[in-house]
Amino acid sequence: MAYVEDRIIHDADAHTMEPPEWLEPFASAEVIRYALDHFSIGDNEGDNEKALADIEKARARQADPEFRAGAAAEVMLRKNYLAPGAWDPADRSQALDDLGFSSQLIFPSMPNTLIEEMEHQAEPDLTYATATAANRAQIAFCSGDPRLLPVCFVPLQSIEHAGPHARQAINDGAAALLIPNRMPKHHAHSHVGFDPVWAAAQEAGIPVVMHVGIPDLVMPPQHRNNGLPPEPDFHGGGENFRSVSYMAICAAPLQALSMLIFDGVLERFPALKIGVIELGAVWLPGFLRQLEAAFDAFERHEQRLGKLSIRPSDYVRRQVRVTPYPTEPTGWIIENSDPEICMFSSDFPHVEGGRNPLRRFDREVAHLPADVQERFFRLNFEDLMGTAAYVPAAAA
């Protein structure tokens, strides 16, 4: 019995869990050396040796026949490197059979945080070379199963590099382009120099997405200096979630969305779709209202606002899709925003997604009309992904 049965559900947030040799077939010696020197994930952030040792322990368990025999029954219970299909594509296809999702948007894990830090610390040539290697590894992982949709990173560190890098990722087989949700170091997300990135995505019919990286980076480091003992993260979660991180997690993507709207990116590229993934959604109703308030207050004084052909919140409805956390009031969010925006996600196989996100979301949206539920679990994802979303022939 699959986790999902008798209905079409797409998973807008799933991940690979990369072993240390993940980039080797695709990267230069310099990139491999840098990645290994900075390899850190999960509750071992900052401890390279422990991270690698824990992966080897998980690899040994994954090779044990008795452990593997229980994979189907525990497909939503095993997390991170112990999850079925964490890094082996054949196992992932079997895991997807056991999950029952029609398709999964597959984000990297370790490269997400690695490249996010590199954008602010490394030389651009090294950043983009690392992103290219990570993207090709992600595409290779997904290449044998049309249900697995690879997400490829496009750093915004360099205006000169970003456009060609985006086109290369698309040519290699990207199903979505991942940009940082944090502000680039030297310019805005909406800088006109990035128009080749948006043009490439729009032309290819694939979305540009933002995803949580390192939540603690959205706040000044002094927030940890409160004179109290350190708090554990979200039960060992891979992105080090804590309550204060959650309260600030939407700040960076809301800045990015505001600029993409007010600076006219979504006006110039009306078919471009934007996904805001694993960054919560409880902010959505207030954000729509705030966009309208800002427009009404500043329209007479800002030329850029006068160039917009529709209301700012209408750009969100038309072009932006968002994944709530399973712990958020999803029904309330949809009722107070728009049925066309929110999407289901599992965060498989990360701990943060929980053991039964489907049950949580089903409870949250049970009172909504059937067509609204269908939008949440299926249609909004298909709108985001276009032809890349895999739909079984019988349900097409």
CB 345 within 8 A of CB 353: yes
Beta-strand relationship, 320-322 and 274-277: parallel
pLDDT tens digits for range 337-348: 999 999 999 999
Say whether pLDDT at 240 is over 70: no
Residue 236: is its pLDDT beyond 60? no
Answer yes or no: is 85 within a domain. no
Quote the CA–CA distance of 300 and 6 in Å, as a whole number.
Answer: 53
Say yes or no to pLDDT of 217 above 70. Answer: no
For CA atoms 52, 55, 59, 60, the dihedral sign is positive
CB 106 within 8 A of CB 349: no
pLDDT digit string, tens, across residues 354-379: 999 999 999 999 999 999 999 999 99
CB neighbours of 6 closer than 8 A, spacing ≥ 6? none
State the average pLDDT over residues 314-320.
98
How many residues does this entry show for the chain? 396
- Return the pLDDT at 39: 76
Is position 42 within any domain? Answer: no
What's residue 392's pLDDT? 80
Cβ neighbors of 244 (< 8 A, separation 6 or more) are: 219, 223
Q: Give per-residue pLDDT as tens, 4-23.
A: 998 999 999 999 999 999 99
pLDDT at 44 over 70: no
Tell me what the pLDDT averaged over the chain comes to. Answer: 92
Q: What is the CATH number of the domain that holds 378?
A: 3.20.20.140
Task: Identify which of 165, 163, 188 has the alpha carbon closest to the alpha carbon of residue 257.
Answer: 188
| Confidence at residue 243, expressed as pLDDT on a 0 to 100 scale | 81
Provide the number of structural domains found in the chain.
1
pLDDT of residue 215: 60
Q: Look at residue 65 in the predicted model and tell me its pLDDT.
A: 96
Boundaries of domain holding 333: 102-390
Task: For 120-174, write each residue's pLDDT tens digit.
Answer: 999 999 999 999 999 999 999 999 999 999 999 999 999 999 999 999 999 999 9
**Is residue 314 scored above 90 in pLDDT?**
yes
Q: What is the pLDDT of residues 99-113, one digit of tens each?
A: 999 999 999 999 988
At 394 the pLDDT is 62
Report if residue 65 sits inside a domain.
no
pTM of the model: 0.94
pLDDT digits (tens, 9 = 90+) for 258-308: 999 999 999 999 999 999 999 999 999 999 999 999 999 999 999 999 999
